[in-house]
Chain A
Amino acid sequence: MIYLIDHEDSFTYNLAHLLDDIEPTFVSNYYEINKEKLEKSSTIVLSPGPGEPKNYPQTTKIYKQYKAKKKILGICLGFQQIVFSEGAKIVQQKNILHGYQSLIKIVNNKSIFKKNSEFLGGRYHSLKMAEPFLSKSMSITMRCKKTNVAMAVEDDINKVYGFQFHPDSFLTPNGKYLIKKVISR
Chain B
Amino acid sequence: MLNNNEYLNRLYQSDKPLIIYKNDKGFDVYTDFSKKFLINKKNIKNFLNSQTKKKQSNSKNLNCYIGFFGYKLLCENIGIKLPKQKTNNFYTGLFYQPLTKISIRKKISIQSIKPNFRNIKINKKNYELLDKKFNLNLTLQQYSKLFKNFSKNIKQGKTYQIKIAQNYSKKGTINAIDLFWKLMRMNESPESFLIRDKNFNIISCSPETLILKKNNLIKTKPIAGTLRKTKNTNQKKALTFFRKNEKETKEHNMIVDMERNDLAKICKTGSVKIEKLKKVEEYRDLFHYVTTIKGLLKNKITNHEIISSLMPGGSVIGCPKISTIQLLNKKEKYDRNIYTGSFGIIHANGDMRFNIMIRTLLNFKNKIDLSVASGVILGSTAKKEYNENYIKAKSLLELFN
Which residue from chain B places its CB closest to the CB of A101 in the assembled complex?
A: B253
Annotate B304-325 by CB proximity to A: 1 below 8 A, 0 otherwise. Answer: 0000000000100001111110
How many Å from the CB of B156 to the closest CB on chain A?
Answer: 7
Given A52-B157, A96-B154, A96-B155: A21 in contact with B269 (beta carbons within 8 A): yes
Complex contacts, B260 vs chain A, CB 8 Å: 14, 170
Most B-side CB within 10 Å, residue of A16, A52, A96, A127: A96
Judged by DSSP, the binding face of B is helix
From 225 to 278 in chain B, residues with beta carbon under 8 angstroms from any chain A beta carbon are: 249-254, 256-258, 260-262, 264-265, 269-270, 272, 274, 277
| Closest A residue, CB atoms, query B249 | A99
Residues of B within 8 A of A168 (CB): 257
- The answer to whether B320 touches A11, judged by C-beta atoms less than 8 angstroms apart, is yes
Given the complex of chains A and B, what is the CA–CA distance between A14 and B265 in angstroms?
8
The answer on a CB contact under 8 Å between A99 and B264 is no
Q: Is B159 an interface residue (CB 8 A)?
A: yes
Q: Which residues 152-184 in A have Cβ within 8 Å of B in the complex?
A: 166, 168-171
A80 and chain B: residue at smallest CB distance: B157
Contact for B377 among A13, A17, A98, A122, CB less than 8 A: A98
Interface core residue of B155, B250, B251 (most chain A CB under 10 Å): B250
B314: chain A residues at CB < 8 Å are: 10
Min CB distance, A121 to chain B, in Å? 12
Let me know if B261 and A14 touch, CB within 8 A. yes
Q: Counting CB contacts under 8 A, is A79 at the interface?
A: no
Cα of A11 to Cα of B161 in the assembled complex, Å: 14
Contacts known (A8-B322, A11-B320, A17-B272); A126 close to B252, Cβ less than 8 A: no
Q: Could you tell me if A96 and B378 are in contact, using CB atoms closer than 8 angstroms?
A: yes
Residues of A within 8 A of B265 (CB): 13
**Would you list the 5 A-B pairs with minimal beta carbon distance, nearest first?**
A99-B250, A99-B253, A13-B264, A10-B320, A99-B254
A-B contact pairs, 11 of them (CB 8 A): A8-B323, A9-B320, A10-B257, A20-B269, A50-B160, A52-B156, A52-B157, A99-B250, A101-B253, A126-B155, A166-B257
Hey, which bits of chain B sit against chain A, CB under 8 A?
154-161, 249-254, 256-258, 260-262, 264-265, 269-270, 272, 274, 277, 314, 319-324, 377-378
A16-B264, A17-B269, A101-B253 given; 16 more Cβ-contact pairs under 8 Å: A9-B320, A10-B261, A10-B319, A10-B320, A11-B257, A11-B258, A13-B265, A20-B269, A50-B324, A51-B156, A51-B158, A96-B155, A98-B160, A98-B378, A99-B160, A170-B253
What residues of chain A have their CB less than 8 Å away from a CB belonging to chain B? Answer: 8-14, 16-17, 20-21, 49-52, 77, 92, 96, 98-101, 122, 124-127, 166, 168-171
